[in-house]
Structure 1
Amino acid sequence: MLDFDRLLPALRIRSGQHVLAWTAAATAISVAAPVCALAVALSAIDFGPVQFWGILAVCAAIPLLIAPPVALFLLSMMRLITITVERIDHYVQFDTLTGVLTRAYLLGRIRGALPSGGAFLMVDADHFKAINDTYGHDVGDEALKRIAEVLRATTHAESFVGRLGGEEFGVFLPGADDARAAAVASALCAAMRASGEVVAGHPLHLTISIGGASHLRTDPLERTMKLADAALYRAKRNGRDRFYIAAATDTMPALILQSDAAPAP
């Protein structure tokens, strides 16, 4: 049986060269099919060579005149459709500012990975409103881009990184436990401190706070995210530029298992 999941991407027409190549192929088939069929039929009739080849020439001329413009038009339309669909897919999947996954696509990817377990990290930029108010939204946008770069560069390739909204990001670590989540969160905070000193030529000293929670397979994703959000709130309240990992089995998510900095007095 044909594997359409592999076949369809190969049939996508993305460039003018693809259009010309497929037009040539379609023309060749349009000419060859009737000519071959007619040649077989004529071979059973007593025609002279001139008549035989003359009839075949006429038979070939008709599709040769019709097929190229029709195929060129249809394939050009297919190219436009392919480009449009791919652009829509890109906008659906990736945040236009930071390049990480959109909220909807991130949560969809996470739900697909939940059967194997993992840990969710909720990441928030520290004092982001002050950055926008002091330096302007263009610098704020550059700060968000820098955070996204740090998240992608520091996490494993199998991790899912997305923007939840505003200055808040989400990271899902497939198969990770509390210890792994804490190690990744600590690395992210450290990398952000190093990379966030100067952004867009301004001394922002940009840092992040992180709240995390391991996912229990019996729980919905929303509960894990709520635990991570509560842990993030605790990190913010206790001084920012730090992380907390909440116990996913605890009904009171204020219980903290790990921190990369001592809570502020």
Structure 2
Amino acid sequence: MTGLATALPKQAWLWIFRKTLMMMGISVVVSVVATILLMASFSRGVDMAGLAVAIVMPIILGGPMIFTFSIGTERMRHANMQLALLATLDGLTGVLNRRAFAATVEKLCSTPHRRGVLLVIDADHFKSVNDRFGHDQGDEALRNIAQALSAGVSKSSLVGRLGGEEFGIYLPDMDLAGAENVADEVRRSIAAIHFLPEGISCPLSVSIGGASHEKPVAFRAIYREADQRLYSAKQRGRDCVALPQAA
């Protein structure tokens, strides 16, 4: 998602119709009651013609106005929701941006009696992709990597772009053994991407470092530990995973 969608979703239209009908119903009730009270005060009472006018006029005059107003307010609400969402996403890859990822992981890591694993993923030799094929193809490679990362984790996990060709995955409530399986599966899925800039095969690979916690910890602390292990993975030849030893 890289831009605002102007079309309202189906649920929004259902809400607009329900709101319009509800407001029209209230308007009709108020009109009928007011008509009955006025005609009872200034004449012998309400007649069928007066009652019909009291019912029909709010529908004819108020219905379109209420409907138009409801569409406007719902479009504004929908646009505000999209803007709030866009503020958390990386414009290129569609995953969380660094600020949103760090803030959410910080919140999860600070929760008592909760464990998790942070993986830091870095594309190997990525500068050569940009130098050889150009930044537009480099961007395409990053999108492919982000898609593979998102597809390789559960819905409860978080995926974010930390900057450049570096990504992060946070696996809540997961132990190191499970995290190692996820990391290795992600590594293999990226290595299996058929990336063909200008029709030329360009293999992609990533190095992954990780850190775990079983008590409250700051994001910068767990990130620093995972980043150090990422450096170890790079030193070991890249295209590998470096996690702490499970107890």
Structure 2 residue runs without a partner (length 5+):
1-9
TM-score by length of 2: 0.81
Please tell me whether the aligned partners of residues 212 and 245 of structure 1 are also in contact (alpha carbons under 8 angstroms). yes
**Mapped partners of 2:99, 2:180: distance in 1:** 25
Alignment of 1:1-265 (within 5 A): 14-15=12-13, 19-20=16-17, 22-36=19-33, 38-39=35-36, 47=44, 52-114=47-109, 115=111, 116-195=114-193, 197-200=194-197, 201-246=199-244, 257=245
**Mapped partners of 1:61, 1:187: distance in 2:** 65
Q: What secondary structure is seen at the aligned counterpart in 2 of 1:120?
A: strand
Q: Deviations over 1:230-249 (max 9, x none)?
A: 11112123321112114xxx
Q: 1:192 to 1:163 in 2, by over 3 A?
A: same
Give the % identical residues. 33
Please tell me whether the aligned partners of residues 146 and 199 of structure 1 are also in contact (alpha carbons under 8 angstroms). no
Please tell me whether the aligned partners of residues 97 and 161 of structure 2 are also in contact (alpha carbons under 8 angstroms). yes
- The structure with higher relative contact order (CA 8 Å, sep 6+) is 2
Letter of the aligned partner of 1:190 in structure 2? R
**Mapped partners of 1:29, 1:183: distance in 2:** 59
Letter of the aligned partner of 1:96 in structure 2? G
Please tell me whether the aligned partners of residues 13 and 82 of structure 1 are also in contact (alpha carbons under 8 angstroms). no
Please tell me whether the aligned partners of residues 123 and 210 of structure 1 are also in contact (alpha carbons under 8 angstroms). yes
Shift of 1:178: 2.5
Please tell me whether the aligned partners of residues 13 and 79 of structure 1 are also in contact (alpha carbons under 8 angstroms). no
Q: 1:180 to 1:18 in 2, by over 3 A?
A: closer
Q: What secondary structure is seen at the aligned counterpart in 1 of 2:12?
A: coil
Letter of the aligned partner of 1:23 in structure 2? T
Shift of 1:170: 0.4
**Mapped partners of 1:227, 1:62: distance in 2:** 70
**Mapped partners of 1:26, 1:184: distance in 2:** 52
Please tell me whether the aligned partners of residues 92 and 139 of structure 2 are also in contact (alpha carbons under 8 angstroms). yes
Letter of the aligned partner of 1:198 in structure 2? F
Q: 1:13 to 1:77 in 2, by over 3 A?
A: farther
Task: After superposing the two structures, state which structure 1 stretch, 127-136 or 200-209, moved more.
Answer: 200-209
**Mapped partners of 1:35, 1:231: distance in 2:** 74
Corresponding residue of 1:8: none
Q: 1:18 to 1:209 in 2, by over 3 A?
A: same
Please tell me whether the aligned partners of residues 96 and 161 of structure 2 are also in contact (alpha carbons under 8 angstroms). yes
Please tell me whether the aligned partners of residues 142 and 199 of structure 1 are also in contact (alpha carbons under 8 angstroms). no
Please tell me whether the aligned partners of residues 98 and 162 of structure 2 are also in contact (alpha carbons under 8 angstroms). yes
Please tell me whether the aligned partners of residues 141 and 195 of structure 2 are also in contact (alpha carbons under 8 angstroms). no
**Mapped partners of 1:121, 1:83: distance in 2:** 34
Shift of 1:21: 5.2
Aligned length: 233
Shift of 1:18: 5.0
**Mapped partners of 2:69, 2:11: distance in 1:** 11
Shift of 1:97: 2.1
